């Protein structure tokens, strides 16, 4: 009987396993992951999980019964040491060798920990990436005096964590190295909006603060920045980005370029090995360039493509990127990628407080839409992008024109 081994049991790996069954794979399916926790949803970790009493059992991707029903074997808490492409085997850290017919790398990424003096010996200092990280942060927060928290990094994770802990009564400070928060993922308009939002909630945000040293002093830390400023905190959360888990693929001789390079079928440079999710560098037909995306949507989309290809079906990756973030009472939804935009349109709805959208164009071509508490803008932007329709910018900016599917199309 043929066997497909999937390394990585997060969104991409789990989605691929079940998609394989739907596509008709009758052989064995084995899911291996170094994380001992039953496969779970990652996005809620920095959102609802931190600010609620939920346990991880409420955040699982699939029920235990569903794996049994589909005959999918889970091997959790197991690390893969190497891949032998000639023998078509993988070797686990404990020395056990397993053979495969098809191999899927859903190795994802891990939290990046910057080289800051004293960070490794700081008191109550954690990244935010895994279930254990979230548990560590929540448990530490419950015990520290004054609920004094410092977050290094003003991106998605840092700000979502700040919002969650602020809801629990924390005194939160965010330090961002760049000149503004969200500098890598959003234009100044949105950076300013979220900066003001957090400030109104009592969170202190300080851009252009590069942390160079942390000094642990009994139950608290002194955080020292390059400009000489210092901050005190009982809990430090590090959210400065990720590092792709590509070492296993690289050691096996697979093509690497800003991640594991794959074709339109999510196939690597080895015809029997596929890669999906955050770890992949793949071609996006809409933007006509290679990308590496860190999103659940992309993980699930690539998982389905890989499963179909493994089962011998003709398929190609052709998905539009989308993302979301929850902070306080704000839902931020993004569709498309705004990189390289030449101009933008800010659309404000006069009858809706805290609801607006930003539309990005490269000349006349729509590239992306950011929607703040505006599901209609997100859905309509998605439709326009998929259909490659030309939007009339003047109509879009006119809030007196009703928000309907054909309202903003060029005649």
The yes-or-no verdict on residue 55 having pLDDT over 70 is no
pLDDT digits (tens, 9 = 90+) for 114-164: 999 999 999 999 999 998 999 899 999 999 988 999 999 999 999 999 999
Residues β-bridged to residue 310: none
Q: How many CA atoms lie within 13 A of 29 on its CB side?
A: 26
What distance in Å separates the CA atoms of residue 187 and residue 332, rounded to the nearest whole number? 14
What does the block give as tokens for 193? 């909006």
Give pLDDT, residue 25. Answer: 98
The yes-or-no verdict on residue 76 having pLDDT over 70 is yes
Give pLDDT, residue 58. Answer: 59
Gyration radius of the chain over CA positions: 23
The yes-or-no verdict on residue 405 having pLDDT over 90 is no
Give pLDDT, residue 45. Answer: 83
Token pair 């015809």 is found at: 271
Q: Using DSSP bridges, classify how beta strands 322-327 and 242-244 pair: parallel, antiparallel or unpaired.
A: unpaired
The answer to whether 116 and 127 are in contact (CB under 8 A) is: no
The answer to whether 129 and 260 are in contact (CB under 8 A) is: no
What distance in Å separates the CA atoms of residue 211 and residue 187, rounded to the nearest whole number? 24
pLDDT digits (tens, 9 = 90+) for 39-51: 999 888 887 777 7
pLDDT digits (tens, 9 = 90+) for 3-42: 999 999 999 999 999 999 999 999 999 999 999 999 999 8
The yes-or-no verdict on residue 205 having pLDDT over 70 is yes
What is the SS3 assignment for 206? strand
- Global confidence as pTM: 0.94
Please provide the average confidence, as pLDDT, over all residues in the chain.
94
The yes-or-no verdict on residue 367 having pLDDT over 70 is yes
* Cβ-based neighbours of 238, under 8 Å, separated by 6 or more: 111, 113, 114, 119, 125, 126, 127, 128, 151, 152, 153
Q: Got the DSSP string for 288-321? A: TEEE---SHHHHHHHHHHHHHHHTT---------
Calculate mean pLDDT across residues 339-347: 93
Of 85-94, 350-359, 389-398, the one with minimum mean pLDDT is: 350-359
Give pLDDT, residue 354. Answer: 81
The yes-or-no verdict on residue 110 having pLDDT over 90 is yes
In this prediction, residue 370 has a pLDDT band, given cuts at 50, 70 and 90, of: very high
The yes-or-no verdict on residue 167 having pLDDT over 80 is yes
The answer to whether 142 and 151 are in contact (CB under 8 A) is: no
């Amino acid at each position: 009987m043929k066997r497909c081994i999937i390394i990585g049991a997060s969104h991409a790996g789990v989605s691929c396993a079940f998609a394989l069954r739907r596509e008709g794979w009758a052989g064995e399916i084995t899911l291996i992951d170094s994380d001992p926790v039953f496969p779970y949803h990652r996005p809620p970790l920095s959102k609802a999980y931190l600010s609620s009493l939920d346990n991880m059992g409420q955040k699982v991707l699939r029920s235990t019964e569903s794996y049994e029903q589909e005959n999918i074997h889970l091997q959790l808490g197991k690390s893969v040491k190497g891949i032998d492409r000639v023998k078509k085997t993988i070797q686990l850290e404990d020395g056990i060798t397993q053979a495969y017919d098809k191999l899927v790398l859903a190795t994802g990424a891990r939290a990046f920990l910057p080289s800051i003096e004293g960070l490794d010996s700081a008191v109550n200092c954690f990244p935010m990436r895994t279930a254990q990280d979230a548990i560590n942060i929540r448990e530490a927060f419950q015990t520290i005096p004054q609920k004094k928290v410092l977050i290094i990094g003003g991106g998605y994770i840092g700000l979502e964590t700040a919002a969650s802990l602020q809801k629990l009564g924390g005194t939160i400070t965010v330090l961002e190295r760049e000149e503004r928060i969200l500098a890598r993922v959003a234009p100044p308009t949105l950076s300013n909006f979220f900066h003001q939002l957090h400030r109104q909630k009592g969170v202190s945000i300080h851009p252009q603060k590069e942390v160079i040293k942390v000094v642990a002093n009994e139950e608290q830390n002194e955080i020292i920045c390059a400009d000489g400023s210092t901050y005190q905190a009982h809990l430090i959360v590090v959210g400065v980005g990720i590092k792709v888990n590509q070492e296993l693929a690289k050691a096996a001789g697979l093509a690497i370029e800003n991640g594991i390079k794959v074709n339109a079928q999510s196939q690597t440079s080895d015809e029997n090995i596929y890669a999906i999710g955050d770890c992949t560098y793949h071609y996006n037909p809409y933007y006509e360039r290679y990308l590496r995306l860190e999103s659940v949507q992309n993980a699930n989309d690539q998982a389905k493509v890989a499963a179909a290809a493994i089962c011998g079906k003709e398929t190609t990756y052709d998905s539009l990127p989308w993302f979301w973030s929850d902070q306080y009472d704000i839902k931020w939804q993004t569709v498309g990628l705004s990189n390289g935009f030449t101009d933008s349109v800010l659309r404000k709805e006069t009858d809706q407080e805290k609801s607006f959208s930003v539309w990005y164009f490269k000349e006349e071509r729509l590239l992306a839409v950011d929607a703040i508490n505006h599901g209609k803008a997100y859905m309509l932007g998605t439709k326009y992008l998929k259909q490659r329709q030309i939007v009339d910018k003047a109509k879009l900016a006119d809030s007196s024109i009703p928000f309907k599917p054909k309202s903003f199309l060029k005649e």
